[in-house]
Chains A and B, each alone.
Chain A
Amino acid sequence: MTSPASSSEVKYLIESSEGNTFDVSGAALRQSNTFNAMFLNIGADGPIPFTDYNEATLKKVFEYCEHSVNEENYSGPKHQDDLSKWDLNFFNEMDQKMFIDVINASNFLDIERLTSYCCERIARMLRGKNTQEMIKVITLPTAEELEAKQKVEEKKAAAAKKVAEKAAETAEKTETLEELPVQQLVQTTRNKLTRKYLSFSNE
């Protein structure tokens, strides 16, 4: 890839918990509000570490994002009955563990459309049921599990902080760009990211 015409052609490297990296298009990644808040305007110096999630989960999440790149902007929850065949297959082929991993990753990356669809899918498992029927569907956590959940959420917060620090570090390296006009800044960032992507591709 030489000089890209639009930022959608920019690729970013994502790092998973196994330390593996894979690339994701800028257009797909921009569906993540977490990414937008941290990297969109400043770029990433090296792979973006989403190291709380394994490669399979992240690839599944970004598979969804790549697929919905051309869909209209997200405007609130969509009923499952309105999902396309592709969407339904996407959800149906996941086992429960993968589904939960995808929800957690989607929640962390703040991908509204995917998170909302996942949540409605969970709600569907319980809707219209009485208490006894609900108890059969959900596993009620023990005190130990609740404690463990709290620790996981603390760990996630620490991971988010780490990602933010990484973004801040990158921002420092681009401090001179801030003095440029916005349009020039965007183009400069794009060029820089493209160079970065090409250098990753050549490695």
Chain B
Amino acid sequence: MNSQPFKLLGLPTLVLRNVLQFFNPIELFELSQCSKRAFSIIPLSGSKKFNLRINERSTISVNGHYFGTYNNSPLSENNLHGTRTFMESTVKAYLHSEHELVSFWDNRNVGLKAVFFHLSKVFDCAIEYARFTDKIPAAIYMSIIDLITSRQSEIKDLTIWGDGLTDEHVTEIFDNLKVTDHLEMNYQYSVPRPIPFNTKSIDIWNSSWITMEHLKSMNKCTVIQLYRSTLTDQDITLFLNNWKSGKFPNLQYLFIKSSFISKTFTAFGLPSLTGNQSHEKTILGIEREIYRGVDVRRDDGIAAKVRFDDKEGVLQILVL
């Protein structure tokens, strides 16, 4: 067949759909940039079944294909292969590999929002993760959340972290979005309020606002990790008794670090550390480890290792 320009968009719809099904998300994105009409045909490829993620380090991915956003720099000038348009913004960009397209922005956070909004339009698919390892301005963070909640009521994985977020923002998020698999919070409530902690795994990096009532409401969780906690000996003893009696039936791993636990605290009156053995177990895809744990059984016979490190103020439970 000769190499004359081919009228791709003139093909019958069913044929066009079959052709598009051979493309990966980067190729579909590149095609969408050709014209408005090209943009409009992308959902024919079945892209509604794709999943869109905001990953760590402000990288967006669609089915394992990455759309990186970076700040403009002299270095970026060397590799530029053209421009791409995201929403109303046309910026420098290039194909870093067949799996990654990189774009450069005066403000990376603005870029993250524009790329995310744009891709959600191109692929019209569910948003699975919204993970943030960088603190982004609350206005941008909340506009991303608003877009997600306008499209769906659940998300698998969410990080709550924004510069300037308020208690009202965070409550609004919990009111509108159910986090099913993993919740990570870098936000610290100024006035603690009841939160629906019904996620499989919870990491709270500053949990000074977490009360015993909050901890009790995590009774469906598989993994709980609380850093900078203010829970006391009395709270921890109450929690341990609840856990032992079976009130946290799904809990596989717990980590609480609190400087409010006294040096003399002991779990169930047992010695804090024994032997020098470590135990590991992969839980929800991540390897968890406990070192020098004490053997404890729940009332239903389930065996676990419990460790309290009085120097660090860390309590750990690993269900075996």
A residues bordering B, Cβ < 8 Å?
77, 91-92, 94-96, 99-100, 103-104, 107, 115-116, 118-132, 134-141, 145-146, 149, 153, 156
B33 interface residue per 8 A CB criterion = yes
- Shortest CB distance B37–A (Å): 7
B10 interface residue per 8 A CB criterion = yes
Q: Does A103 contact B23, Cβ atoms closer than 8 Å? A: no
Residues on A with C-beta less than 8 A from B11 are 100, 103-104, 122
Chain B, 7-62, CB within 8 A of any chain A CB:
7-15, 18-23, 27, 30-31, 33-35, 37-38
A134–B84 Cα distance when bound, in Å, is: 13
Closest A residue by C-beta to B84: A131
B81 interface residue per 8 A CB criterion = yes
Closest A residue by C-beta to B38: A140
Q: Does A145 contact B10, Cβ atoms closer than 8 Å? A: yes
Residues on A with C-beta less than 8 A from B19 are 119, 122-123
B5 interface residue per 8 A CB criterion = yes
Q: Does B30 contact A138, Cβ atoms closer than 8 Å? A: no
B301 interface residue per 8 A CB criterion = no
Residues on B with C-beta less than 8 A from A123 are 19-20, 22-23
B150 interface residue per 8 A CB criterion = no
Given contacts A123-B22, A139-B7, 16 further A-B contacts (CB under 8 A): A95-B2, A96-B2, A99-B1, A103-B15, A107-B14, A122-B6, A131-B33, A132-B82, A134-B30, A135-B34, A137-B6, A137-B8, A138-B6, A140-B9, A140-B34, A149-B10
A-B contact count (CB 8 A): 102
Q: Does A131 contact B1, Cβ atoms closer than 8 Å? A: no
A131–B103 Cα distance when bound, in Å, is: 14
A99–B2 Cα distance when bound, in Å, is: 10
Q: Does B10 contact A96, Cβ atoms closer than 8 Å? A: no
Q: Which 5 A-B pairs have the closest CB atoms?
A: A123-B22, A119-B18, A139-B5, A131-B33, A138-B8
B190 interface residue per 8 A CB criterion = no
A100–B84 Cα distance when bound, in Å, is: 30
Q: Does B18 contact A138, Cβ atoms closer than 8 Å? A: no
Q: Does B1 contact A138, Cβ atoms closer than 8 Å? A: no
A92–B3 Cα distance when bound, in Å, is: 12
B312 interface residue per 8 A CB criterion = no
A153–B30 Cα distance when bound, in Å, is: 27
Known contacts A104-B12, A115-B18, A136 near B30 by CB under 8 Å: no
B interface size (C-beta, 8 A): 34
- Shortest CB distance B50–A (Å): 17
Contact pick for A130, options B1, B10, B21, B81, CB 8 Å: B81
Contact pick for A129, options B14, B21, B30, B84, CB 8 Å: B30
A153–B168 Cα distance when bound, in Å, is: 53
Contact pick for B5, options A99, A137, A146, A149, CB 8 Å: A137
- Shortest CB distance B282–A (Å): 34
Q: Does B22 contact A141, Cβ atoms closer than 8 Å? A: no
Q: Does B10 contact A128, Cβ atoms closer than 8 Å? A: no
A96–B38 Cα distance when bound, in Å, is: 21
Contact pick for A134, options B7, B21, B31, CB 8 Å: B31
- Shortest CB distance A149–B (Å): 5
Contact pick for B15, options A92, A107, A135, A146, CB 8 Å: A107
Q: Does A131 contact B82, Cβ atoms closer than 8 Å? A: yes
- Shortest CB distance B33–A (Å): 4
A141–B37 Cα distance when bound, in Å, is: 9
Q: Does B15 contact A115, Cβ atoms closer than 8 Å? A: yes
Residues on A with C-beta less than 8 A from B7 are 100, 138-139, 141, 145
Known contacts A91-B1, A139-B5, A134 near B34 by CB under 8 Å: yes
Q: Does B23 contact A96, Cβ atoms closer than 8 Å? A: no
Residues on A with C-beta less than 8 A from B23 are 123, 126-127
B175 interface residue per 8 A CB criterion = no
Residues on B with C-beta less than 8 A from A135 are 34
- Shortest CB distance A179–B (Å): 37
Known contacts A128-B98, A130-B82, A146-B37, A77 near B10 by CB under 8 Å: no
Closest A residue by C-beta to B30: A131
Residues on B with C-beta less than 8 A from A149 are 10
B264 interface residue per 8 A CB criterion = no
Closest A residue by C-beta to B6: A138
B290 interface residue per 8 A CB criterion = no
- Shortest CB distance B15–A (Å): 5
- Shortest CB distance A54–B (Å): 17
Residues on B with C-beta less than 8 A from A121 are 1
Q: Does B9 contact A141, Cβ atoms closer than 8 Å? A: yes
A156–B27 Cα distance when bound, in Å, is: 30
